[in-house]
Structure 1
Amino acid sequence: MNNTESKNLKRGAFYFIILLGLVSLLADVTYEGARSVTGPYLGLLGASSAVVGFAAGFGEMLGYAFRLVSGYWADRTHRYWLLTIVGYALNLLAIPLLAFVGNWQVAVLLLILERLGKGLRTPARDVMLSQATKQVGRGFGFGLHEAMDQIGAVAGPVFVSIVLARNLGYRDAFLFLGIPAILAMILVVTGRFLYPRPQEFEPAYKGIETKGYSKAFWIYLGAVALIGAGYIDYPLIGYHLQQNGILQPQFIALLYSLAMGVDALSALVFGAWFDRAGVSVVGVSALIAALFSPFAFLLHVWWGPVIGMVLWGIGMGAQESVMRAALAEMIPTERRGVAYGFFNTVYGLAWFAGSFVMGIIYGFSPTLMVIVSVTLELLAALLIFVNRHSLEHGHGV
């Protein structure tokens, strides 16, 4: 490949990452806007704190578990675009339908459907994205995508807060969120025709066939599980803020928007750092995550949750960019769909168990919940740092 061809390939990969980022931006306007108020909305429909924690955790768990199946389909069929498009359709359809529910049970079912759609499309989308990042840098590519993703995650809650401030209510907000959902679908279908074969950005490795995954891969998944279990989801945070009268509903949505903005900046910084420092950056993100819950739950003044959610956003942005980038470095492209499926299934199971248990513990003692969260994040950081050499120099297969 000559210099001109190499430059064209890198340019095409960069534009492809931008396109996927725009799709994610619009999708996040939709479902992150909704997510910023699902906790309070479920509470108004009569759900308890345990139900809120269960809805958030079980939806995440089911969506992540389904990624193992969809990742297998992606590896076997290479129908990356089909899985991505169908998944986005399911992912986005559920949100405007929340406007029509009359009880928390139906709302929970729709939230689970939304997570299932995301579970269907994510491994195929991530494989295509990882192939493009080969040309521009793993951390930079995933960080750029995550940053664009979070622009939408900021805009969505801001939009919802504006709707609530104008006294239009939660149901009106869910209806209006159907607009970016339609735009996202138009873009993702357009991408299918502009870049029909994104695997050309990173040709499959034709070396010796291997079976199973290495010890380094499973150690990494163990650390990911601890991070997921310890990370308290925002619906429970929003529930806490509403039930204790710390913030008004519109400010709860804005606080989530602040966290997403910090998430976007963090993804860019930590993504670029990953390309220089490697997997230890994942451990640093876990240390930062350990700091947020004491501020968010133990200080009943407005600035406590603000500081807590800034730390929450830093940790989330770092993790969502570098955790996927690290996996792409460990696993060859032709086996990456199943690997991302394993990664997301483990993360989802841990997220479900953590969110559900955290919701239960919160009902008895918010302080104890904070202690559990901090402990799990510190254990994850320790596991990463102790095994840094094998994670960076071992092979995932």
Structure 2
Amino acid sequence: MYISFTNRPKPATDEGTAPTRHGMRTVSSTVVAFGIVSMLTDISSESVAAVLPLYVTAYLGLSTIAFGFLDGLYQGVSALVRIAGGYTSDRVGRPKWVAFTGYAVAAIARVGLLFASGFAALTVVISADRIGKGIRTAPRDAVITASSHPDSLGTSFGVHRTLDNIGAAVGPLLAFLILLLIPNGYGTIFLASLAFAVIGVMVLGLFVPNVRTATASHRGTAAVDTATGGADRAAPRPRFDWPTVTSGPMRRVLAAAGILGMLTIGDGFVYLVLQARSDFAAQWFPLMYVGTNVAFFALAIPLGRLSDRVGRARVFVFGHAGLLAAYVVAVLPMQDVAATVLCLLFLGAFYAATDGVLAALAAQLTTPETHGTGIAAAQTVVAISRFLSASGFGLLWYALGREASLLLVAGALIVAIPAIALLLRPYLSAPRGKNADPGPVPASASGQAAERGRDSS
């Protein structure tokens, strides 16, 4: 299968579906443009994330409990606004500008990193940065959904995540080079982070098209009909249908995402375990993030394509086997270099199989009018559960030690993966046995009836 890049297609909710070519799936240039924005933003955010464990525990001298709390904030505080961001993008039908607001908030928060030097200040800055992420994520994925054909939705998310994670690999590499040249050069890293964040916001504002989603398209049709005297024939404004997001298949997906998220500790903890066993110099620490993200972007498109063929729920659930393997390898008595390489590879495979795939799955199981909110709901559950997981693991590490804590979480994950597979069994296969989404449910249908229609697909 080939991937080609086309000019921005009309969204599926505008006047037909996004164009496809016979025998070839296309990836919209809008997806690529947003991928470049995400790449620049991830250079910014991941350069900070790569040094945060050492900055907090070594440079500032705070405890693993404090790091667990801050890492939990980094993972979970975005949950406070994710649904609001997705809901707003659904209501206004212009998700680009909702996403722009989130990117701008995160860029402004980078300024605070230049002055934050204590636990309280870091808490405020990280919270502001992650709130910006929470605002932008679902609208961004709604733009990708509206710009993609349903048959290749997993592929589109895979392309976006590939570009995104090129930035996620470059960011830690940038941090590594700065620390190599400037010992304890955390201020320089924070300044570089701010510069890339500002560039990302500028690219979004200038080069990403203002894609209309279903709500805006219907509203525009109604306005035209009314203006021409056809008020009675005007298309009704789509009604936001919250049960579509929280019942039927989505209810199971949200439960599965929450349970598995509770068993996903922050990468920083895994890297601290690897560092403790090999005792390498602190300036090499950011390279672990580089290794994970290289594996992520190398596997994102293949696993996205696989999810289109065999089922997105299936790839999402069994992708957690990579997370389990990373936990086990981190504590196995094996050669340190081999353990580190394998651990980073497994972590990258886990993220490639779950991050974009979960967004594609949520879009598959919701209507066009609720894509943004459905994606945000899934991401909110993941963010909250990972916040609790990171905070709890910090306490567990303090009480039991690093290896015992990691093995305990690994044991729980062994039980959870088959249990979640049973929970999502009706949705493990590709929709209708082929590369197609179940299709939008009319906005006038009731939430439960809509979900029954998707259950039968």
Q: TM-score, normalised on structure 2?
A: 0.78
* Preserved contact between residue 226 and residue 377 of structure 1 (Cα < 8 Å): no
The change in CA–CA distance for 1:257 and 1:172 in structure 2 (over 3 A counts) is: same
The alpha-carbon deviation at position 198 of structure 1 amounts to 4.2
The change in CA–CA distance for 1:298 and 1:75 in structure 2 (over 3 A counts) is: same
Larger gyration radius, structure 1 or structure 2:
2
Q: Give the aligned partner of residue 39 of structure 1.
A: 53
Give the one of 365, 381, 388 matched to 1:346: 381
CA distance in 2, matches of 1:381, 1:203: 40
* Preserved contact between residue 227 and residue 377 of structure 1 (Cα < 8 Å): yes
The alpha-carbon deviation at position 388 of structure 1 amounts to 4.2
The change in CA–CA distance for 1:141 and 1:379 in structure 2 (over 3 A counts) is: farther
The alpha-carbon deviation at position 227 of structure 1 amounts to 2.2
CA distance in 1, matches of 2:365, 2:282: 43
Aligned positions of 1:210-359 closer than 5 A: 212=243, 213-241=246-274, 246-278=279-311, 279-297=313-331, 301-359=336-394
CA distance in 1, matches of 2:212, 2:92: 14
| Cα deviation code 1:364-395 (max 9, x no counterpart) | 22233223322443344224422444225663
The change in CA–CA distance for 1:211 and 1:243 in structure 2 (over 3 A counts) is: closer
CA distance in 1, matches of 2:149, 2:192: 37
Give the one of 387, 398, 405 matched to 1:363: 398
* Preserved contact between residue 280 and residue 385 of structure 1 (Cα < 8 Å): yes
Aligned CA-pair RMSD:
3.1
Give the one of 196, 206, 215 matched to 2:210: 196
| Structure 1: 5+ residue stretches without partners | none
Q: Give the aligned partner of residue 99 of structure 1.
A: 114
Mean alpha-carbon deviation: is it higher for 355-364 or for 244-253? 244-253
The alpha-carbon deviation at position 268 of structure 1 amounts to 1.1
Opposite residue 170 of structure 1, the aligned amino acid is: Y
The change in CA–CA distance for 1:372 and 1:215 in structure 2 (over 3 A counts) is: farther
Query: Counting helix residues as a fraction of each chain, which structure ranks higher?
Result: 1
CA distance in 2, matches of 1:297, 1:177: 33
Q: TM-score, normalised on structure 1?
A: 0.89
* Preserved contact between residue 52 and residue 235 of structure 1 (Cα < 8 Å): no
Alignment pair present for 1:6 and 2:41: no
Q: Give the aligned partner of residue 203 of structure 2.
A: 187
The alpha-carbon deviation at position 185 of structure 1 amounts to 1.2
Matched residue of 1:133: which SS?
coil
CA distance in 2, matches of 1:7, 1:244: 51
| Cα deviation code 1:130-170 (max 9, x no counterpart) | 11232661110001100110000000100110000012511
Instruction: Indicate the percent of aligned positions where both proteins have the same amino acid.
Output: 21
The change in CA–CA distance for 1:170 and 1:302 in structure 2 (over 3 A counts) is: farther
Q: Give the aligned partner of residue 173 of structure 1.
A: 189
| Structure 2: 5+ residue stretches without partners | 1-9, 219-234, 432-451
Opposite residue 408 of structure 2, the aligned amino acid is: V
Paired residues in the alignment total 394
* Preserved contact between residue 223 and residue 383 of structure 1 (Cα < 8 Å): no
CA distance in 2, matches of 1:182, 1:12: 30
The change in CA–CA distance for 1:214 and 1:52 in structure 2 (over 3 A counts) is: same
CA distance in 2, matches of 1:74, 1:208: 14
* Preserved contact between residue 36 and residue 234 of structure 1 (Cα < 8 Å): no
The alpha-carbon deviation at position 210 of structure 1 amounts to 5.7
CA distance in 1, matches of 2:455, 2:307: 18
| Cα deviation code 1:323-355 (max 9, x no counterpart) | 111111111121122212221221111101111
CA distance in 1, matches of 2:239, 2:112: 49
CA distance in 2, matches of 1:112, 1:153: 20
| Cα deviation code 1:17-48 (max 9, x no counterpart) | 00000000000000011101111101121221
CA distance in 2, matches of 1:222, 1:374: 19
CA distance in 2, matches of 1:280, 1:117: 31
The alpha-carbon deviation at position 285 of structure 1 amounts to 0.3
CA distance in 2, matches of 1:136, 1:49: 45
The alpha-carbon deviation at position 242 of structure 1 amounts to 5.2
CA distance in 1, matches of 2:190, 2:239: 51
CA distance in 2, matches of 1:153, 1:374: 26
Mean alpha-carbon deviation: is it higher for 365-374 or for 202-211? 202-211
